[in-house]
């Protein structure tokens, strides 16, 4: 069930006070389960992206160490060496 279908089902029919509680619980559970599914998908994608960023940060750190720099300015941003890591501003 996609997000639009969940919202459509939640809004279908009578006003909230006229909807049977069991139907409201059913819709609530669908929304909750869909939210958990989206959170899981996000976490999986986030993990991949964070690993890619870490690999790039490690490369930046090696470059900074190699030339003895604490900052490297580029046309797209500045690499800043912070302790045993790097970040981009």
Q: Residue 6: how many CB atoms within 10 A of its CB?
A: 16
Whole-number pLDDT of residue 20:
84
CA atoms within 13 A on the CB side of 77: 7
Whole-number pLDDT of residue 3:
60
The burial class, CB within 10 Å (0-12 / 13-18 / 19+), for 61 is middle
Give this prediction's pTM: 0.67
User: Which are the contacts of 61, defined by CB distance < 8 A and separation ≥ 6?
Assistant: 81, 84, 85, 86
**pLDDT averages per 10-residue partition of the chain, 89 residues:** 64 65 92 97 98 97 94 96 91
């Amino acid at each position: 069930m996609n997000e639009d279908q969940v919202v459509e089902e939640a809004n279908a029919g009578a006003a909230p006070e006229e909807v049977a509680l069991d139907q409201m619980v059913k819709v609530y559970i669908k929304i909750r389960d869909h939210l958990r599914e989206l959170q899981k998908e996000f976490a999986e994608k986030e993990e991949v992206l964070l690993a890619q960023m870490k690999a790039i940060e490690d490369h930046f750190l090696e470059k900074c160490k190699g030339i003895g720099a604490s900052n490297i300015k580029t046309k797209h941003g500045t690499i800043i060496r912070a302790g045993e890591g790097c970040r981009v501003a």
